[in-house]
Chain A
Amino acid sequence: MLPLVAVILFAALRPLKVLPRIRISPGYLLVDQNGNRVSSEEMRGQITLYGFTSTDCGLPCVGSEELMADVAAQIDSQSDVPVELVMIALDEQELLPDALRAYALDRGIEPSRRLLTGEAQQVKVVVGGGFNTFYERDSSGQLQLDKALMLVDGLGILRAEYRGRLPSTSAILRDIDLLTQEARNSTGLTRYAYEAAHLFLCYP
């Protein structure tokens, strides 16, 4: 009887909060603004916030770039669980590192964030197929993009999708903090408490 009461109390009181495990985030091999090849595997062990942009992006990118910059300015760079902020460029052509770097400097993406590029088809598979984020060029060549940010944990699991109306900086920081706490504390017996929190959908 006691275990049953404990389970019901846990489900009712929700002493731990976790973010849902949505699905595996897409794998990729892209190039950053310094010409380095970057794979999704390199992001393991750290929390990654993905955003999408392009060098000619207008209205569709308004807000998300500023939000990423705001988050970058407020995250704890000394945390034992590193947080990486990554922008993926949706340009029609794979950008050369010099152009990518110039754009990153121009938009203030350097040095706190990474900007990744790749072949258009490859990027489409990652962003459209993997992150389920729609974008295309209209007849006038303008980028049409659904505003979205993606939060991926250190195991490569997508934990939050921010679509449409973008969230506040504090909401993203809260989610990053939840992932940080989970990564930091989910060991030994506490791990079972976190698994119970997932089982009972203890979401914020």
Chain B
Amino acid sequence: MNDSKIVDLYLARSEDAVKETSLKYGARLRSAALKLGCDTGTAEECENDVYLRAWELIPPNEPREYLFAFLAKLLRSAAIDRLRRASAGKRSAEFTELTHELEECLAGNMSVDTEAEAKELGRMINAFLAAQPEEKRMLFIRRYWFFDSVDELSKRFGFSKSKVKTELFRMRGRLADYLRKEGYSL
């Protein structure tokens, strides 16, 4: 079933909406949750969270053209929330590593400790990414949105691992410059 028809089911408050969503995207969502560092049980919980949130958010949203992104965003949010609430020792190494990498973009006195701060920073990151060449933008999103490892990025983009690391390093540097020039401060 195509995405638009699935969204129609949500709008019609048909219970088949969740069933069709699960049929089409369930495996991808679980797979994404596992990549984000969840264990199998947590991944299933996150998936169910997604269906519940999608049911609550459609309507008013109508993500006919970007249903997967819409669901993936819900999943990412649910998964990160669970990981953040986990004790430091239980957080995935990937979660910690990616946080550290992004911290490079912030000046020493900055921090992002609330949802409001995250939203403000996100708005600026979004503007920064929009101005980047497509391939670099995709690389950045795959790394920090989808949590792709360097190895996975290397295969996906056809770069050597060192090139992936170099590109990401440069992107973070440019983002840091951009945030500074735009007067970002928290």
Are A and B part of the same complex?
no
Interface residues of A (CB under 8 A from B): none
Interface residues of B (CB under 8 A from A): none
